[in-house]
Amino acid sequence: MEILKIENLKKRFGGVKAVDGLSFSVREGEILGIIGPNGAGKSTLFNLLCGLMPLDAGRITFSGEDITSLSPHKRCHMGIGRTFQICQPFKELTVLDNVAIAAVFGNSKTVRPWVVKKYSEEILEKVGLSIKKDLYPAHLTTPDLKLLEIARALATSPKLLLLDEVMAGLLPGECDRILKLIRCINREGITVILVEHVMRVVRELCERVIVMNYGQKLCEGCYEDVAGDKRVIEAYLGREETGAQ
Amino acid sequence: MSAGQLFGQALINGILISGIYALAASGLALAFGVVKFLNLAHGEFLMLAAYLGIFLFSSYGLDPLLMTPVVFTLFFILGAVYYKTLVKPVLKAGELNQLLLTFGISIFLQNLALILFGGTIRTISVPYRTHTISFWGINFGTARLLILLLSIVLLVGLYQVLQRTRVGRSIRAVSQEPEGAALVGIDSEAVYLIALGIAVGFASVAGMMLSIIFHAEPMVGFNFTLKGLAVVVMAGLGNVYGVIWASLILGISESFIGVYLPNGTGWSGAIFFLMILGGLIIRHSRVSEV
Amino acid sequence: MKNFKLKYVIVAAAIILAGIFPFITGEYYRHLGILTLMYAVLALSWDFAARAELVSFAHTGFFGLGAYTSALTFLKLGFPLYLSFAAAVLLTIVVAIALGYLTLRLSGIYFAIATLAFSEVLLVVALQLPNVTGGAMGISVPSLFGGMRVYSYCLILGILALAVVVSIYLERSHYHLAFSAMRTSPGAASVLGVNTVRYRLASFTLSAIFSCLAGAFYVHYTTTTIPYEAFSLTIGVASMVMAVLGGLYSTAGPVLGAIVLKIIEEYMRVTIPYGYMIIYGLILVAGILFLPKGLVGVQKKWKFLK
């Protein structure tokens, strides 16, 4: 069963084609990895998927419904959750309130006002931030901020979770912790799309990988297949240096 | 007066007034385009210069138009001081803080003028104020004609400076790509200072013109800030080159409404609102909120 | 715990003082008290919009719209007082939603410019329709409650109480989460399910309603107004400066700011009859320049009042 299908997606900024005729679909319950060199259009793709940017052309179908022109909060209510590559915590709010806002406004299943606190605490428990629930984001470390991003997205009860480089800037040990968390989230039935530069994470988590370059799909397959693909190596390293791996 | 002459007169009046709009607006556009600074106190410099023009003529008999080089220099320096003391500290503080600051300065200067000069409207009559030249039954006010010519000269001069000189190239570079300009060794600090100096200088020249064909009173400047904003918004914020045709549209449409609508001179004050709203909605809609 | 109790003592004292004020003072101070409360309503209403990060100059416009609609329906259509207030509020809601629909897609600075133009245009309309509005001559209505200031005081105190209740509700309910999130990162707020456009529109409309009520009260209280007064930018300026000085995004801040500034203004008005507004310019400039974090810094400094 496919949960998300995008057809011929296009977005340009001035003369730059950030996303150029991209099509793929995502099966329910899978973890899909999207990799590609910097500037390949991965973050733009996420912005188009969650509705933060209008697209120039194409069609996005989620759970069988056309969501191409829906606003971000409606997509959130339908079950698309996301994290930001550059963490965007709400500075004036505590960690608990950061999660509570997603529970109150973003959850399709109504979370009753009197259970919001308990519900948010459970989410923080799950990601392992409960002891820091009363702190302000300014006092959190980078890995904690990443966990907060994930916790907020989870509080909206997503069916599909878009993770934008959650591992960037983390130490290997910290990566393992988040890796486990993602696996756990996926086992609960949440489909995950992962934009990632840390190849180890992609290899361990993703059943299927899409490689993007210049806004287009370069190739698609399991990690081993795409990692060995000549075009992919060229895209990352340049044409002259094939075989450098 | 025939219908054709009436039409021609309205058109000419609109064109004649648009020079002053273009001069006032180009300063706003320059400050916004280069320094990324929206100066709501822009019109108050115009107002101060108008008072200066009246003072120079009534006390010393100096013609305001002949004094423009001196006044421009004076206000250029004032603009540079304004940049150093008030603008620079808030450049990093976010655009809404800039807006509130310059609005505060605007209120301050308006009321300062009210305290110093009182609320009465002041005018002077230079010898050529009421003189007109007629072609085909259409009157060209000599003063307005002179003012339009001076505006054209100044604007062409500004464009030449922007296009041909080293300073101009630096200004354009900073306005397009501040980081890139810094990388190739352009001192953005100096560019900001010059840009704001020119902006305030142009405002002062427009103010001198006001003293000749219009009047000085404490609120006169704010009106020009609003009209300047309308022009700048329609031209595309920060677009110095679009200012000319946008000013022409404002001047001509005000003039036509004044002539053809019953009690139209009053309504012409509402034109800039439509220009601002239309211009903003078409050009600056919130596309992405990231 | 000690602070907690002190806060309630202060609030209780303030309420009692506000209640007995008109009965223990003379006509002049009663008048001053009424104007202060009216400006407290305006400052709070400005803050309602600021909470959704809208720097609005439209409050002048809504104040004048409230004044004129209320006065005209009272005079020309023979509406009773309460219905004329209701009519003003109704029209304001329609106009605010229409204006909001057009301008709320504009980001910060452009929104501010558009609202500034809006207020100026209402002034032109009021001047240009003399058959309806009386043009530059303005309008006159019979005096409110037959000139009994005590009743007027109670009415405006009631309006302020309503604004305070709304403000406290917004602060205590989950809406404050949404507003706070929208101020920090509107993009993140929207992907977490906050309908940013709706909340902006709601806070803008709410803020317009209270400006309109203040305007409607003003015209009946002073019995006469002219376009240059009802649509004077000084109204918007004063409410903005009061909110900024007192501390944004709070209930106590704008109210306190209104009280302090009205006292300063009254003193200035006696010393410099023309140009006393200079104090608002000075405070705005000083506030932005000497509080390094701008408005946010002001808010932090006054946090103990929350």
Closest chain A CA to residue B289 = A52
Whether residue C9 is contained in a domain is answered as no
C254 and C40 in contact (C-beta within 8 Å)? yes
Confidence band of B288 (pLDDT split at 50, 70, 90): very low
C60 and C118 in contact (C-beta within 8 Å)? no
B286 and C105 in contact (C-beta within 8 Å)? yes
State percent of chain C over pLDDT 70.
93
Mutate which: A19, A53, A88, vs B, most B CBs within 10 A? A53
B260 touches chain C (CB under 8 A): no
Question: Is residue B96 predicted with pLDDT exceeding 80?
Answer: no
**Which is more confidently placed, A1 or A56?**
A56
What percent helix, strand, coil does chain A show, rounded to 5? 40, 25, 35
C168 SS3 class: helix
pLDDT at A230: 84
Question: Rounded to whole angstroms, how far apart are CA atoms B116 and A54?
Answer: 54
B263 touches chain C (CB under 8 A): yes
**Chain A residues close to B290, C-beta within 8 Å:** 47, 52-53
Question: Is residue A239 predicted with pLDDT exceeding 70?
Answer: no
Across the interface, whether the CB atoms of C178 and A97 are under 8 A apart is answered no
Across the interface, whether the CB atoms of A52 and B289 are under 8 A apart is answered yes
Whether residue C94 is contained in a domain is answered as yes
pLDDT at A57: 92
Question: Is residue B289 predicted with pLDDT exceeding 70?
Answer: no
pLDDT digits (tens, 9 = 90+) for A41-61: 899 999 999 999 888 999 999
What does the DSSP assignment read for chain B?
Answer: --HHHHHHHHHHHHHHHHHHHHHHHHHHHHHHHHH----TTHHHHHHHHHHHHHHHHHHH---TTTTHHHHHHHHHHHHHHHIIIIIHHHTTS-HHHHHHHHHHHHHHHHHHHHHHH-SS-B----TTSS-EEEETTEEEEHHHHHHHHHHHHHHHHHHHHHHHSHHHHHHHHHHH-HHHHHHTT--HHHHHHHHHHHHHHHHHHHHHHHHHHS-B-TTHHHHHHHHHHHHHHHH-TT-STTHHHHHHHHHHHHHHHHHHSTTHHHHGGGHHHHHHHHHHHHH-B-----
**Chain A residues close to C187, C-beta within 8 Å:** 52, 72, 84, 88
pLDDT at C292: 46
Number of structural domains found in chain C: 1
pLDDT digits (tens, 9 = 90+) for C214-232: 999 999 999 989 999 999 8
C105 touches chain A (CB under 8 A): no
pLDDT at C300: 52
pLDDT at B141: 81
DSSP designation for A203 = H
**B123 C-beta neighbours (distance < 10 Å), count:** 14
Q: What is the nearest CA distance from A126 to chain B, expressed in angstroms?
A: 28
A15 and A214 in contact (C-beta within 8 Å)? no
* Mean pLDDT value of segment C21-47: 91
pLDDT digits (tens, 9 = 90+) for B166-184: 888 888 888 888 778 887 8
* Mean pLDDT value of segment B22-44: 89
Whether residue C2 is contained in a domain is answered as no
Whether residue C161 is contained in a domain is answered as yes
Question: Is residue B290 predicted with pLDDT exceeding 50?
Answer: no
What tokens does A11 get?
């977005």
What percent helix, strand, coil does chain C show, rounded to 5? 80, 0, 15
To which residue do tokens 């204006």 refer? C99
C112 and B226 in contact (C-beta within 8 Å)? no
pLDDT at C1: 46
What are the beta bridge partners of residue A192? A31, A161
A53 touches chain B (CB under 8 A): yes
A77 SS3 class: helix
* Mean pLDDT value of segment B143-160: 89
What ipTM did this prediction achieve? 0.89
Q: What is the nearest CA distance from A238 to chain C, expressed in angstroms?
A: 35
Question: Rounded to whole angstroms, how far apart are CA atoms A157 and A153?
Answer: 7
> What's the mean per-residue pLDDT of chain B?
85
C289 and B125 in contact (C-beta within 8 Å)? no
Q: Which of C183, C193, C197 sits opposite A76 (nearest CB)?
A: C193
Q: Which amino acid is at B210?
A: L
What spatial distance separates the first Cα and last Cα of chain A, rounded to whole Å? 36
Question: Rounded to whole angstroms, how far apart are CA atoms B173 and B56?
Answer: 38
C80 SS3 class: coil
Across the interface, whether the CB atoms of B286 and C107 are under 8 A apart is answered yes
Whether residue A229 is contained in a domain is answered as yes
Task: Flag the least confident range among B276-285, C18-27, C66-75, C217-226.
Answer: B276-285
Displacement of CA C185 from its chain's centroid (Å): 26
Q: What is the nearest CA distance from B21 to chain C, expressed in angstroms?
A: 17
Question: Rounded to whole angstroms, how far apart are CA atoms B226 and C118?
Answer: 11
Q: What is the nearest CA distance from C282 to chain B, expressed in angstroms?
A: 6
pLDDT at B162: 86
pLDDT at A16: 87
* Domain region containing A190: 2-89+146-237
Residue B253 phi/psi, 5-degree rounding, is -70, -35
Q: Which of A84, A92, A97 sits opposite C188 (nearest CB)?
A: A84
A68 touches chain C (CB under 8 A): no
Closest chain A CA to residue B288 = A53
Give the domains, in start order, of chain B with CATH numbers. 12-279 (1.10.3470)
Across the interface, whether the CB atoms of C284 and B104 are under 8 A apart is answered yes
pLDDT digits (tens, 9 = 90+) for C268-302: 888 888 888 888 888 888 877 776 444 444 445 54
C170 and C179 in contact (C-beta within 8 Å)? yes
Confidence band of A136 (pLDDT split at 50, 70, 90): very high
pLDDT at C72: 94
pLDDT at C304: 43
Number of structural domains found in chain A: 1
pLDDT at B2: 80
Residues in chain A: 245
Contacts of C123 (CB under 8 A, 6+ apart): C64, C227, C228, C231
Chains that touch B (3 or more CB pairs under 8 A): A, C
A47 touches chain B (CB under 8 A): yes
- CATH code, domain carrying A227: 3.40.50.300
Chains that touch A (3 or more CB pairs under 8 A): B, C
pLDDT digits (tens, 9 = 90+) for B46-71: 999 999 999 999 888 888 888 889 99
A214: enclosing H helix or E strand: none
Closest chain A CA to residue C180 = A92
Residue B98 phi/psi, 5-degree rounding, is -60, -45
Whether residue A161 is contained in a domain is answered as yes
- CATH code, domain carrying C137: 1.10.3470
Confidence band of B132 (pLDDT split at 50, 70, 90): confident
State percent of chain A over pLDDT 90.
65
pLDDT digits (tens, 9 = 90+) for C88-138: 999 999 999 999 988 887 877 888 888 988 998 899 899 988 888 888 888
What tokens does A138 get?
């300014």
pLDDT digits (tens, 9 = 90+) for B111-126: 999 999 888 888 887 7
To which residue do tokens 């946090």 refer? C303
Whether residue C139 is contained in a domain is answered as yes
Whether residue C195 is contained in a domain is answered as yes
To which residue do tokens 């916004």 refer? B32
Q: What is the CA radius of gyration of chain A?
A: 18
Question: Is residue A240 predicted with pLDDT exceeding 60?
Answer: no
Question: Is residue A245 predicted with pLDDT exceeding 50?
Answer: no
* Domain region containing C78: 28-305
**C255 C-beta neighbours (distance < 10 Å), count:** 28
pLDDT at C303: 46
Q: What is the nearest CA distance from C93 to chain B, expressed in angstroms?
A: 20
**Which is more confidently placed, B51 or B267?**
B51
Displacement of CA A155 from its chain's centroid (Å): 15
**C173 C-beta neighbours (distance < 10 Å), count:** 12
Across the interface, whether the CB atoms of C105 and B112 are under 8 A apart is answered no
| B-contacting residues in C 82-111 (Cβ below 8 Å) | 102-103, 105-110
Confidence band of B285 (pLDDT split at 50, 70, 90): low
Residue A34 phi/psi, 5-degree rounding, is -120, 120
Nearest by Cα to C227 from C134, C110, C89: C134
Mutate which: B32, B111, B267, B274, vs C, most C CBs within 10 A? B111
Question: Rounded to whole angstroms, how far apart are CA atoms B218 and A239?
Answer: 68
Task: Flag the least confident range among A55-64, A227-236, B233-242, C173-182.
Answer: B233-242
pLDDT at B109: 94
What spatial distance separates the first Cα and last Cα of chain B, rounded to whole Å? 59
pLDDT at C3: 57
> Which sign, positive or negative, has the C-alpha torsion C158, C163, C164, C165?
positive
Across the interface, whether the CB atoms of B229 and C113 are under 8 A apart is answered yes
Question: Is residue C171 predicted with pLDDT exceeding 80?
Answer: yes
> What's the mean per-residue pLDDT of chain C?
87
Mutate which: C110, C196, C198, C293, vs B, most B CBs within 10 A? C110
